[in-house]
Amino acid sequence: MNQLKISVAGAGAMGAGIAQVAATYGHQVTLYDSFQAALDKAKPAVRKSLDKAVEKNKLTAEKADAVMSAIRFTSDLNDISGSDLFIEAIIEQIEAKQNLFYEVEKLVSDQCILATNTSSLPVIAIGSNCKNQERIIGLHFFNPPVLMQLVEVIPTFNTKAAITESCKTLMKNWGKVPVIAKDTPGFIVNRIARPYYGEALRIYEEGIAGFETIDHAMKSVGGFKMGPFELMDFIGNDINYKVTETVFGQMFYDPRYKPSITQKRLFEGKLYGRKTGKGYYNYANPSEPKPSNDEALLQSIFDRIFAMLVNEAADALMMQIASAEDIELAMTKGVNYPMGLLQWANTTGPEKVLATLQHLFEWYGEDRYRPSPLLKRVVADKTLFKTR
């Protein structure tokens, strides 16, 4: 599938990054955005990214120039005609995506694959206005697409099997690690990772520990590269809150995915994190809050969040959201977890995870902490999770 014409809609960080990746691997790319200002910002951003790759000896100057010249920046949607693959990366709003897909289908051939980069919306719904449902698929890249290896490939009930396989192969050819996920809320990563943020917020709201102590616990005890509050500020509390809200609604208001009032208030106050200078931490006027070094407290924080993460991974496996191997790959390659959650649970002991959840369930009396039947089965059978 070399020398394809790739079109990307949305010239924000995600769309521009995807366009750069496609051009790097030898494709002619059209980057479309209806707002000229977005294109004017994207062009120097791609150039800067390429120059940085040259500085780090990842690309030659000649290759960087070739990549830049392979990308056409346009505000005319008609320029996508003749595309072999169209990837949508616009605002995370279902009506806008549906309308775009409807218009795009009129401009491309029946052979053109129509993909969405949505992180949390139903893929089948995004393409629901299209006549040919067999070529609709999700290709969820992670930010920044140039650096992050994982791509979630999300077929719908209508997607032709050959389309799924060709997209998986193409992503491998682009140097990515593709995983296949069901078209369910949050797919793999944004479903399984929800407790990393949600349970951390719950611990904070209960007054058990502050942001810095919770972050310290997950880094010092768990070996995570970033604590949950650091990570939310890095991702952006606008994005993280909206994904949480979307997954909660789409999961029929299952309390496991319930958003936090604290995060909602930060969202409402436009305290999005690093990009606004303030979120859970103040980046405009940074201080150095000292976390607690109480080992028992740090361990209890880690145990609680870790148990919730493993429980979510076990449930995703039980509900056949993805294979065990793809679940492990998704969490290590998509959000840089120190280890796949299923293997990690095997290492620490599934019975310990279950005991933590049962204690939380009995103490709070909330369905939020109900143990996954698969976790209970693994413990009852005295076995381990299959990771492949």
Q: Look up 119 and say whether it is catalytic.
A: yes
The helix/strand/coil state of 160 is coil
- Per domain, the residue ranges of the chain are 5-180, 191-380
pLDDT per residue, tens digit, the chain (388 aa), is 568 999 999 999 999 999 999 999 999 999 999 999 999 999 999 999 999 999 999 999 999 999 999 999 999 999 999 999 999 999 999 999 999 999 999 999 999 999 999 999 999 999 999 999 999 999 999 999 999 999 999 999 999 999 999 999 999 999 999 999 999 999 999 999 999 999 999 999 999 999 999 999 999 999 999 999 999 999 999 999 999 999 999 999 999 999 999 999 999 999 999 999 999 999 998 887 899 999 999 999 999 999 999 999 999 999 999 999 999 999 999 999 999 999 999 999 999 999 999 999 999 999 999 999 999 999 999 999 999 8
User: Under CATH, which architecture does the 191-380 domain have?
Assistant: Orthogonal Bundle (1.10)
Record the tokens describing residue 174, joined without a space: 């682009």
List strand residue ranges (DSSP E) for the chain, in order.
Answer: 5-9, 28-32, 71-74, 85-88, 113-116, 136-141, 150-155, 177-180
Q: Look up 166 and say whether it is catalytic.
A: no
- Identify the residue whose tokens are 């390429």: 50
Cβ contact 213:290 at 8 Å: no
Catalytic residue among 120, 158, 190, 240: 190
At 67, which amino acid appears?
V
Sort residue 298 into left (φ over 0), alpha (ψ -120 to 50) or beta. alpha
Query: Burial, 124: exposed, middle or buried (Cβ in 10 Å; 0-12, 13-18, 19+)?
Result: middle
* C-alpha to C-alpha distance for 339 and 262, rounded to whole angstroms: 29
Q: Look up 152 and say whether it is catalytic.
A: yes
Catalytic residue among 140, 212, 237, 312: 140
The helix/strand/coil state of 278 is strand
- Identify the residue whose tokens are 């070399």: 2
Q: Look up 140 and say whether it is catalytic.
A: yes
Nearest to 342 by CA among 310, 316, 306: 310
* C-alpha to C-alpha distance for 258 and 52, rounded to whole angstroms: 40
* Interior angle at CA 81, CA 77 and CA 86, nearest 5: 80
* C-alpha to C-alpha distance for 56 and 64, rounded to whole angstroms: 12
**C-alpha gyration radius of the chain:** 22
The helix/strand/coil state of 215 is helix
- Identify the residue whose tokens are 């994207």: 42
Contacts of 374 (CB under 8 A, 6+ apart): 314, 315, 317, 318
Catalytic residue among 105, 152, 212, 328: 152
pTM: 0.96
Cβ contact 38:12 at 8 Å: yes
- Number of other residues whose CB lies within 10 A of the CB of residue 387: 17
Q: What homologous superfamily does CATH list for 5-180?
A: NAD(P)-binding Rossmann-like Domain (3.40.50.720)
Catalytic residue among 7, 117, 119, 120: 119
Half-sphere exposure in the Cβ direction for 312 (13 Å, CA): 30
